[in-house]
Structure 1
Amino acid sequence: MLDGTPEGWYYFILLIVFAIMAAAWIGFARFSMARIERQMKRDGVTRQPSWDGVGLRVLWYASAIAFPVGIFNQANDPLIDVPTVRSYSTRFDRYLGWALMISGLIFLAIVLLGGFFFNLD
């Protein structure tokens, strides 16, 4: 993989960023989202999305917690109740949410740049 060529370095960096993003995703899902949903269930607040087959609910929770309510984080989101989720979040949840959002955006940028520069099929 790391053979000194630009493509080798690209795949090496892509693997590292993917590992960071995966760790942030799993960490946020297990430590933040699961705790928030348990507390909401204990308080009688219903969880809006009843089915999440591919795990994208983690991104909704992370963006609701990491970003301030505004143009990119609507308070009336149809999938989750953003103000309620934010009220159950802690500073640690915000840090994990930011880690997930930033690592995901960096991963996406690296994938797109690699496809552009290396003509990956």
Structure 2
Amino acid sequence: MELIFLFLITITMVSTLFSWLAFSRLCMSRIEKAIKEENIEWLNWDGIGARALSYANVLVFPSMKPEKRPWIPVEDFRRHSTKRDRALALWLVISIYSFMTFATVWYVLNKFWPELVY
């Protein structure tokens, strides 16, 4: 069972890496450029790299309110997105949340019920 978890963690980690790079390079830069051309101001700081995931969440979850993400021009970002942007955002969101879920479950099982893992 440990090998299954490690395999799933590895696959989702690699998928997260590629989806993060694809979304940030192919989508974010184009949309941010279009928003800047409209002279819309927003906080463009990304010290820990979470901006890509924040943008992806905005595109994947349409019910997310702009008040929840004051550092992102939510409506402008959605307006400038394409189907490809939403597809890459969905890939990123599924990949990273799957990775976090598998890693957390494996850690908890390994820490508290090691007999189930081995």
Report TM bin, short chain. 0.7 to 0.9
Residues 24-79 of structure 1: CA deviation (Å, up to 9, x unaligned): 11111101111100111122222x123211110111111111111x2xx1122211
Residue 10 of structure 2 is aligned to residue 15 of structure 1: yes
Which residue matches 2:61?
67
Identity, in percent, stands at 31
Matched letter for residue 89 of structure 2: G
Which residue matches 1:94?
86
Question: Bigger relative contact order, structure 1 or 2, given CA contacts below 8 A and separation 6+?
Answer: 2
Which residue matches 2:106?
114
Which residue matches 1:3?
none
Which residue matches 1:54?
48
Matched letter for residue 98 of structure 1: L
RMSD: 1.5
Inter-partner Cα distance in structure 1 for 2:108 and 2:74 = 36
Q: How many residues are paired up?
A: 111
Inter-partner Cα distance in structure 2 for 1:36 and 1:93 = 9
Higher helix proportion (structure 1 or 2): 2
Which residue matches 1:84?
76
Q: Any gaps of 5 or more consecutive residues in structure 2?
A: 113-118
Inter-partner Cα distance in structure 2 for 1:37 and 1:12 = 36
